[in-house]
Each structure stands twice: as structure tokens, then as C-alpha cells.
Structure 1
Amino acid sequence: MSIKTNYARSIAAAFGAVALLGVVPAQAADVIDQTPVAPLPVEEVPVYTWSGGYVGAYGGYGFSSRTRAPGNSINTDGFQGGAFGGWNVQDGMFVYGAEADIGYNGNEGTNAGLTSQSGVDGTLRARLGVALSDRVLVYGTAGGAAGRLEVSDATTSDTNTMLGWTAGVGTDIRLTERIFARGEYRYVDYGDKDFSLSGGPTAVDASENKVLFGLGMKF
């Protein structure tokens, strides 16, 4: 009886050891599985900004333009082109800065024996805009304007540098990280000057409307 009892106890102890050996690895595996995994680093996507300098080229057309002399008004129009450059600072949605441009103005026209022909022109302007998104900037612009103007009659011609002002609105649209496209409308009042014509000093003033399209590059 004693031998059978000891034998039974030995078998029970063996089963208990096997069961324990099975439980311990399972618990160890649970501990390993519960070890927290370090999160992968999140790559920050850079936010586009309109801040910085830029240069570009433009082309466009002058329309509904006028050169006026006493008793005469000359309708002028023509193609235009040139280069521009400036600097922007962005603060939230607002973008402000300064821009200059220089180019050739092909506006010309003739009326009642008087001819008007524009030449090199340029502006220096302030800009204030709103970034509707990281791709679209709408802005207003205003500042000083200058341009060469030649006025001639049947026997005499004279050329002056006209000084005035300009104002307009436009849109810059980002195409790539550095390249943007532009569309702009501007009104320009070149003021007035006296021109020496065959009838003596003649007061002449000039103004124009223009639409401009361009491509620019940030740097």
C-alpha cells in the first residue's frame, strides 16, 4: 500500500512539473508581448511660405489707354514685356512686401495729326496680399510709375519722362516649390508734361490700363 501511494505521488509530481514548465514559457511570452513598442518618428512636412525674394518676367497688353493734348485725345494700345523682382514677408495669412519692374511699353496711336508712342517704363510698388492657401496668393499693389513718351506732329517731335502712379490687383499661383505664375491688372496715370511741338509748349498727359501675365522664381 505504501509503495503504491509513493508511486502515485511521484506520477502526480511529474505531471505537476510538466504543467509548470508549460505555464512559465507562456507567462514569459505574455510579458514579452506586453512590452511597449517605441512609436516611429513622425516626419514633419514643411509648410510653404511666400516669404523671401523673387524675380520673374512678364508680358502683357495695354488697352483703353489715352494720350491727351489740348483739343485732342489719342487712343493707344500695344504689347508690353519686361522683368520684375521683389521681396515678401508672410505673417499668418497676410503677405506684404515691395516690388519693382522695368520693361518696354509698346503703346502707340495717332489722332488728328498727333502721334503718341510709349517706350521704356517701370514702377516701384508696395504689395499687400492674403494667402488663400499655400498655392494661391491674391494681392493689391500701388506705387510710383515712370515711362518715356514721344509725341510728334507733322513737323516736330519731343520725348519726355513721365512721372505718375499706378494701382492694381493680381494673383500669384504656386506651380512648384520655387516657380509661380502670375496674372495682374493695373491702371497707370503717368501725369502730365509740356512737350515742345510745332505750336509751342503743349501740355500732354497719359494714362493706360494693362493686363500682365508672368512667371516668377523664389530664391
Structure 2
Amino acid sequence: MKRHAAAGLTLAAAVAVAAPALAADLPQPVEPIPYADPVPAERFDWSGFYFGGHLGWNWTDSETRNAVTGKFNTNDSGIAGGVHAGYNFMMTPNLLLGAEADFSLSDINKRKTVAGVNYRTSSDWNGTVRARAGWAFDRFLVFGTGGLAIADLDVAANGVKDSATRVGWTAGAGIEGAVTQNVTARLEYQYQDYGSETFALGGQSYKTDLSNNQVRFGLSYQF
């Protein structure tokens, strides 16, 4: 009996010693690797001052009324280019409000002969001061704009010349995208209405209305 008890104790001790080794040989559970959230891309900040240049195409419509000639149009189109500057303020992460001014040079010069009267209209420059409001989709912006417009208007009839600086209004819209963290590119349209001006040329009164349509591409550097 004692021999059986000793044998049992010996077997139990052997199992106790071998158990850790056997457990070490068994496949061990793999610790899960903590999931790392991707670092979000830096959101583009539209706020602040910016300065840039633009180049595009200008369509001018000049409508003139005179007692001898009646009503006629002298329309012309050509390249227009210049500079712009402004400031943006983000009211919310998406809503942008801002102000912008621009100055453009153009080469608008049109002649027309009506009822024996040789009439010429030309405009060499125009500028605007506008408010901007837009909605930003991170690196893209859709905006509308409107404000004051100013331009020169030169006229001539049968060798007599006169000129005026006209102040009117402008409205337009565009899209803009961030090329880098400081450079943006835009495509925009503006309509500019300068109202009418009456010119006395050679004893005749000529009332001329001036308006522009502009489509232009621009690049801006944001500080």
C-alpha cells in the first residue's frame, strides 16, 4: 500500500514538473496589434491676405443714341489682364466672407459709321472693389462677388474727341482651388455695368452706355 502511495506521489510530481514545459510548446495566443488611426490631412485655411494676377477675355458692349444716327452699337472684344488683392475671413469652417479689389488693362477700340457719322468708342482700363462670399469644400471654394466698378470711356465723332471715367456696378461668380498651401488658382466671370454718359461732339449730343463681360483665370499667393 505504501508502495502504491509513493508511486502516486512520484507520478504527480512528474506531471507537475512537465506541465509548464508542455504548455510552453503549445501555440500561444497572438496579442492584437493596436489599430493606428490615419493622421488626417491638414485642412486648407482660406483666411488671410492674398495677392495675385489674372488674364482673360473681355467683351464690351457700347450702345449709343443720337438724333441723326438713332441708336447703334459698337461692340468689341479682346484680352484683359491685371492684378488683384484681397482678404478672406472664415466665419465657420465652410463659410467665407471677404473683400477684393482688382485693376485690369484692356485694348477695346471699335469704329462704326452710321448715317455718315464716323463714331469710335474705346476703353483701356477698368477696376472693381467688391465683397466676396463663398462656401469652402476644404481645398475648393465656390464664391459669388459684387460691388463697385470703374472704367475709362473715350469717344470720338468726325474728328472731335471726349472722354469720361464711369462708375458703375459689377457682379459675378467663380471657383477656386488650392494648388499648394499658399498658392490658389481661380476661374471667374464678372459682368460690369457702367451706365450712360452724354458727350457733346461737334455740336451733336451722343449718349453712350458701356458694359463689360469678363471671363478670366487667376493665380493668387496667400500670406
The interval holding the TM-score normalised by the smaller chain is 0.7 to 0.9
Equivalent position to 2:202, from 172, 188, 198: 198
**1:178 Cα deviation after fit:** 2.5
TM-score, with structure 2 as normaliser: 0.78
In the superposition, the TM-score normalised over structure 1's length comes to 0.79
On the 8 A contact 2:53/2:83 being kept in 1, the answer is yes
Partner of 2:79: 79
Change (3 A) 1:67 1:12: same
The gaps in structure 1 that reach 5 residues or longer are: none
Aligned counterparts of 2:124 and 2:33: Cα–Cα separation in 1: 71
Write out per-residue CA displacement over residues 84-104 of structure 1, whole angstroms, 9 at most, x where no aligned residue: 111222324322211110010
* 1:129 and 2:123 aligned: no
Structure 2 CA distance, aligned partners of 1:44 and 1:213?
31
Q: Which residue of 1 aligns with 2:14?
A: 15
For the 8 Å contact 1:77–1:109, the answer to whether it is kept is no
| Matching residue within 185, 188, 195 for 1:181 | 185
Give distance in 2, aligned partners of 1:92 and 1:5. 84
Relative to 1, partners in 2 of residues 1:24 and 1:150: Cα closer, same or farther, differing over 3 Å? same
Give 1:63's aligned residue: 59
Query: Any unmatched runs of 5+ in structure 2?
Result: none
CA shift digits 1:113-164 (9 cap, x unpaired):
1111101210001112223x22332222111000112111222212211111
Percent same amino acid among aligned pairs?
A: 34
Q: 1:39 to 1:78 in 2, by over 3 A?
A: closer
- Structure-2 separation of matches of 1:120 and 1:63: 13
Offset of residue 14 of structure 1: 4.8
Give me the whole-angstrom Cα distance separating, in 1, the residues matched to 2:218 and 2:193.
Answer: 22
